Structure 1
């Protein structure tokens, strides 16, 4: 990605960061580069979006993530237009709760995301990877985002949630419709009706799946309400967008840096560091928001109680004071203490699963793929919330 020195005529106004087009064209990296040096804690006035503070340095982003008492998630973790008000899931979902409620809610679902649980899913993930790659090889040309990354992510989370395999295609179609329209999954009537029905089935007849676990889960002495169950289903399904963007963005990075793909082919021991570098490089969650619960300071800048603070995660993951040559994609990078999956109380509960999917898919590609090359222009997601390719057309053939 370009930095300021490479693009002297670029408009580096920080306020451009709220324009999705800036993120489509990659200008945000140059803006963040300058902000890290000149205005790492920057105030944005209210407009269609509420007023907020931008944080662009690694140390500041990390410190806010690790201080949920001062920086709350309850009032929303993404910038929303003022006209929409606060996120209706506040206080009810994994993403939108603070300690101690967050820890209680996390405990309800955590068993499905442990290393042991993910290991037990390995065969199913491998089966899905074989299926999506066989289809891609048969076609010869595919949209890697839709045909491989998206199908893999949705199949795996659908399996965990107890969605019957016969319904995976419908779940995939509904979520695609919402993602491509840039609307909340909660606004998709068929999808939400499906999970309401699934929830009711599991309340009456629980099985061994995540929805059943939530249906029987308690916070203190109280069962989760039906609204909490459905909103958490939406929250967990919605997280698959980040997963597929990271997978597809990783494939794009390897294509654009063929010498790194060659390194990986020559040395499979690089897979663990390659996966961490893909997560750092793609940083598919573009921003995460918190709300200050008290008057405080960030880097000496006064922040008032009630102020919104936006953490630009990709900027933190390109911070020159932390990462050597941060604008270089390096599958052997170490150390690599990126923040792509968060840190602290809200570290991504699906991190182990995300890494497993990447490892299994990359291994299968290394084992079976011959030619992989671009089959057309890449289209990036038009968003300030998530980042990555929306369409990645490839020519892909088996060995």
Structure 2
């Protein structure tokens, strides 16, 4: 088994990665990849080592980037500047500024509108009869929710929806890059406007943040807006799509959830997050020599934590390849752990719950209507296209 195949997006698109990860967990759980197109790095595939690294931001820093990048792309432009990539002191300032927007009072305020968007999306899908679940349902609610938090005017949201789709699901790297530039340019204009005329939204909050007595630079505001937008749309969309596919492939589990939605929903959402794990990896850099899983990691070494692999570790999850909507306990790492635990965790779970509730309540017969297309990526996994027929 050659662990280097994990660096080919086709391995993840074709579903072969889980076979590779299973072999690595048993035979080589902390594996060194020699540098090539990518820098040299350690692959971590077991739950224990991944959890250990993510819980220690002092020894294993995210400041230089959390995604594995080809050497030709250079350093991550958000390194040390965004919430996910900041060193502990800066991370604390940014997290405190952002966290209030994900407090229960704001989530309660959004619940009614989330349910309305989910209800409308499912109703329109039933009227159409044949849909692509990814584009027609899973993509809609996350974008609406994130746009509401960021204070994006309703008239601008269709453009953001289109750019987000192209940035993450377009056929070529050039198309994805151009769409992402459109998003960055939009947030630059919005941030400049909100710095002069702040409103009641998250962009305004970021424009007023000070670090070491100085206002957060506009470029940093834009990078944080982009990070929140990407995290709040891409991962939720793929989790929704992956969750719907899992329920279709496991009809007995779907019926358990349908029969007692309120009683099963909480564990079902966590199991969907564990079983599908849309974020494929997160990366850290060692700030000092360390022992990880019996291997000597040097200062400066990169460590790539393969999250779907950690979430299928039999040492942590009995029958890890079984999809069980009643699984408990379920200590998955799909949303991270430690100081960089996803700030929007509860919001993401509410969105997934809202869509599943409406789909199971309104649609009595849902079947696949063609082949499922998966993303070709090292960063995010899940269906790119999920054609359904429903009544």
Are positions 1:247 and 2:240 aligned together?
Answer: yes
Once the two structures are superposed, the pairs formed by residues 1-399 of structure 1 within 5 Å of their partners are 12-181=1-170, 182=173, 188-239=180-231, 240-268=233-261, 269-397=263-391
| Structure 1 unmatched runs, 5+ | 1-11
Deviations 1:14-63 (A, max 9, x none): 11111111111111111111111110100001111111000000000000
Instruction: Say whether the 8 Å CA contact 1:264–1:271 is kept in structure 2.
Output: yes
Aligned residues: 386
C-alpha separation between the residues in 2 aligned to 1:379 and 1:191? 25
Instruction: Say whether the 8 Å CA contact 2:29–2:44 is kept in structure 1.
Output: yes
Instruction: Say whether the 8 Å CA contact 1:186–1:234 is kept in structure 2.
Output: no
Instruction: Say whether the 8 Å CA contact 2:164–2:179 is kept in structure 1.
Output: no
Q: Name the SS of the counterpart of 1:288 in structure 2.
A: strand
Q: Name the SS of the counterpart of 1:243 in structure 2.
A: helix
Report the TM-score when normalising by structure 2.
Answer: 0.96
> Which residue is equivalent to 1:9?
none
Instruction: Say whether the 8 Å CA contact 1:185–1:238 is kept in structure 2.
Output: no
Instruction: Say whether the 8 Å CA contact 1:104–1:220 is kept in structure 2.
Output: no
C-alpha separation between the residues in 2 aligned to 1:186 and 1:119? 36
Q: Name the SS of the counterpart of 1:390 in structure 2.
A: strand
C-alpha separation between the residues in 2 aligned to 1:333 and 1:243? 21
C-alpha separation between the residues in 1 aligned to 2:290 and 2:49? 13
Instruction: Say whether the 8 Å CA contact 2:206–2:221 is kept in structure 1.
Output: yes
Deviations 1:84-128 (A, max 9, x none): 111011111011112011111111111111232212110111121
Distance 1:186 1:308, change over 3 A: farther
| Structure 2 unmatched runs, 5+ | none
The structural deviation recorded for 1:396 is: 2.1
Instruction: Say whether the 8 Å CA contact 2:123–2:362 is kept in structure 1.
Output: no
Q: Name the SS of the counterpart of 1:23 in structure 2.
A: helix
CA RMSD of aligned residues (A): 1.3
Deviations 1:161-198 (A, max 9, x none): 00111211110001111112457768633222211111
C-alpha separation between the residues in 1 aligned to 2:381 and 2:7? 13
Deviations 1:378-398 (A, max 9, x none): 00110111111010001122x
C-alpha separation between the residues in 2 aligned to 1:105 and 1:125? 26
Distance 1:187 1:70, change over 3 A: farther
C-alpha separation between the residues in 2 aligned to 1:205 and 1:133? 37
